[in-house]
Chains A and B, each alone.
Chain A
Amino acid sequence: MLPADCSRRLVAELRDALDACAERQRQLERSLRVSRRLLRTWEPETPAAEPAPGPETNEEVPPPACTPSRQELKELELLTQALEKAVRVRKSMSKAGERHKALSLKSGDAATSASTASAPSRASSQAGSQASETKPPRGAHQTTVPARGLPEGRLPSVGDRTRMARGARATKPGPGLRDQQITASAAPQAPEAFTLKEKGILLKLPMAYRKAASQNSRLWAQFSSTQTSDSRDAATTAKTQFLQKMKMTSGWPGSGLSAAEVEAEVGLLRKACSLLRWRMEEELSADPADWMQEYHCLLTLEGLQAITGRCLHRVQELRAAVAGQQLKPWPEGRCPRASMPCEGRTDSSWSPQLLLYSSTKELQTLAALRLRVAMLEQQIHLEKVLMAELFPLVSTRDPQGPSWLVLCRAVHSLLCEGGERFLTILRDEPAD
């Protein structure tokens, strides 16, 4: 067993890491829900402010108005009847394994099967359940046309969710239940199921949104351009003077660097250290082909040495400052992250920048790498914490005692194998 205070610290660190991971997972799941929903069948409705849709809109896409006019209702009813007939004809012709479009209800969240093999069997089983469906679709959004009084179909979709999870694609609605539904209804409905895959390119952003969005990006772009005018320089000088005054009138004895400033600088120096070391190793492992490359290599190494010297000097200065002054202590618990960690962004543009990718595979590689880097950073942090806590234990415990070997084995696994593998310890006794 580990001592209480050590246990507390280590468990806290590991739980922090787990919480951070869980938070990322939560956010991902939120996004996944939204994306999956968009790739199923749903009905596009442009927001009310939009005038009649432009010429590129396919007439199969339902009209944007929330309450269809009488004329439209009539037309759609005629269309519905014609399509019923078409479906009946088509059904008699379809074989197993053939996908076919069906008339759709307000589908909302109704999940549909991606596998076509089971479609015919579902059709027959659905026929009997027509009368019994009363449940509304899961999480149906309330905003679409209330005039559509159709009872909602709820296809058996629980098992389908796992299939969706493995590789969601645009889905076709299951045919059977809906066919039955159509004959019973008199209310208007969309003539064709809308899926992003087929009709996505027909969508046109509403004017109000377009205006607001372009104004938004224009305004953000102005942020960087206002940074460099003359009046800004005067303001910068005034600000610096103000800061200086604040420092002089602090009321603290021996005012100097604050704990936050030291911490920030130490962070930068740490980054500098790993970058410098990595660059140095690159240079040392490179194989210069000619004298010019070798000279370049030498110059780089000398430059790195000079920078390192300066950094070391700064570290010594900071150390002296910390030792010599009475620094304000950190507040208890975690400090609120009021200072944004992204310090390097001050002179880059604040407007949302683009990240261009050319294929899904590329995007996946990028995202996976990003997670891997984050995971490695976390692992390194945990490694250092574990080292600091566990090595003293191994040193101070009696090697001849019963639990020492157990401890060593566990420490080896945690510190040298990332907790993944264990070593075996054998007593080396001479053969008798």
Chain B
Amino acid sequence: MGRRRLRGHRGDAVGALPEAIAALSQTLPAGPSPEIFRRAKFDRPEAAPALWQLLFRVLSPLPADGASASPASPTSPALEAQVHLVKSALRSQGYPRRALAQLPEDGSQGSRELLLALAWLLARGPLLEQLLAQTRVRLGDEIPLCECEALASAGPLPPRQEADGPVDIRHLQWLMGKLRFQWRNLITSQQEQCALLGKIHSYTRGCHSDRSLGHLSVAETELFRDPEGGRQLLQRLESENARLEAALVWWRQELVFWKWMAGGWGPEWTAVQRASQEAVGRELATLQRAWEQGEALAQTHGPRRLVKRDAGASGGPGLRAAELIGVLRSRETCLEAVLGRLQTRCWQELTRLAGARPGLLWILPPGR
């Protein structure tokens, strides 16, 4: 039954499916050939390793730029390690099928299940957009605005040697002090970086071919200082453009892929097809609500290119720094209130506990 579907659904152009799959493969990082996809539908074992690797690449977090930074983590772990990570990542994301967890650890089987898993990831959310955004070539200057950037680039956490024994509470105080100091350093460095950016933007005013930007960014200025680096940047840009074009092709054609995925799996599917029709409406509504609740904070998410523009100049797209400062100030106030409330609660609790030792004077530090 699968064979019939492959030649294209009635009404679709023959060859639309391979084209769609080829586009998908080019958009994905480490995308396997369309032939692998076809074999996977038939659960051929030779297709399994490539799909494990693809899922590993898709599900594992990217290290920060400078992928070779940490010597501890290998550039590409063994297949078994990849299998293990893929299984646990899918489980934690809520992958509904038990069959995946039962696949052998050596990665030799299960290509059909892996194809289902990939389709499940694609169906659930904007996977391709997220993957492309993850590796997007940054041409402009950005300051990290939201936590997501910091978290996403944290990379695989190195195994840490924990102190096994009990510690003195003074060690904790020391760690807190160290943390405070690090934050102060961070703020100072950040201020310097902003000053330098301001200069670079001013000095290159009028150079950019794109009038809405006006000035060059650090990366663009570097093109002149380091032509070799510039060539590499250009290469990365061009390959990203190719991937973006493939993604657009995929979106035009993807219905063919979903129809292919819908058919030819065997009797267990046909039985539930009718039941799923009713749930569709409910499902969509729930999804929408979940996104809506995230809307309020969408403004401060995502990287944005810094552009220096005189305060007098009006109009044009883009978020104004003054606006964002306002949003952040209210968030700061909100958080300070939360922290203050927590600290007050602690104080009240301690006061209560201190009642166990009467006859003592507790003198608070000044400035509270």
A201 touching B205 by the CB < 8 A rule? yes
A348 touching B298 by the CB < 8 A rule? yes
Closest residue of B by beta carbon distance from A420: B180
A330 touching B175 by the CB < 8 A rule? no
A415 touching B189 by the CB < 8 A rule? no
Docked complex: A371-427 residues within 8 A CB-CB of B: 371-377, 379-380, 382-384, 386-387, 391, 394-395, 399-400, 404-408, 410-427
Interface size on A, residues (CB 8 A): 185
What residues of B have a CB within 8 angstroms of the CB of A79 in the complex? none
B147 touching A413 by the CB < 8 A rule? no
What residues of A have a CB within 8 angstroms of the CB of B320 in the complex? 356-357
Looking at chain A's contact residues, is the secondary structure mostly helix, strand, loop, or mixed? Answer: helix
Docked complex: B153-189 residues within 8 A CB-CB of A: 153-154, 156-157, 160, 162-173, 175-180, 182-183, 185-187, 189
In the complex with contacts A204-B207, A338-B61, A10-B172 CB distance below 8 A? yes
Closest residue of A by beta carbon distance from B169: A410
A235 touching B231 by the CB < 8 A rule? no
Closest residue of A by beta carbon distance from B137: A216
Instruction: Work out how many contacts link A and B, with CB atoms closer than 8 A.
Output: 555
A241 touching B328 by the CB < 8 A rule? no
A196 touching B171 by the CB < 8 A rule? no
Interface size on B, residues (CB 8 A): 197
A363 touching B244 by the CB < 8 A rule? no
Tell whether B74 is near chain A: CB-to-CB under 8 Å.
Answer: no
Tell whether A295 is near chain B: CB-to-CB under 8 Å.
Answer: no
**With the chains together, A412 CA to B137 CA distance in Å?**
48
In the complex with contacts A363-B306, A428-B359, A376-B332 CB distance below 8 A? yes
Closest residue of A by beta carbon distance from B221: A38
Q: Mark B136-153, 1 if CB is under 8 A from A, else 0.
A: 111110111111101111
Tell whether A24 is near chain B: CB-to-CB under 8 Å.
Answer: yes
Counting chain A CB atoms within 10 Å of each CB, the highest count among B66, B189, B339 belongs to B189
Stretch from A95-103, A123-131, A185-193, A217-225 at the B interface: A217-225
In the complex with contacts A201-B205, A209-B234, A360-B195, A242-B123 CB distance below 8 A? yes
What residues of A have a CB within 8 angstroms of the CB of B173 in the complex? 410, 413-414, 419
What residues of A have a CB within 8 angstroms of the CB of B324 in the complex? 355, 366
Docked complex: A34-52 residues within 8 A CB-CB of B: 34-39, 42-48
**With the chains together, A54 CA to B22 CA distance in Å?**
42
20 A-B pairs whose Cβ atoms sit less than 8 Å apart in the complex: A1-B166, A2-B167, A23-B154, A32-B192, A42-B225, A222-B248, A236-B284, A239-B258, A245-B273, A257-B94, A328-B91, A342-B148, A343-B294, A344-B295, A350-B129, A363-B321, A371-B190, A373-B328, A418-B176, A418-B343
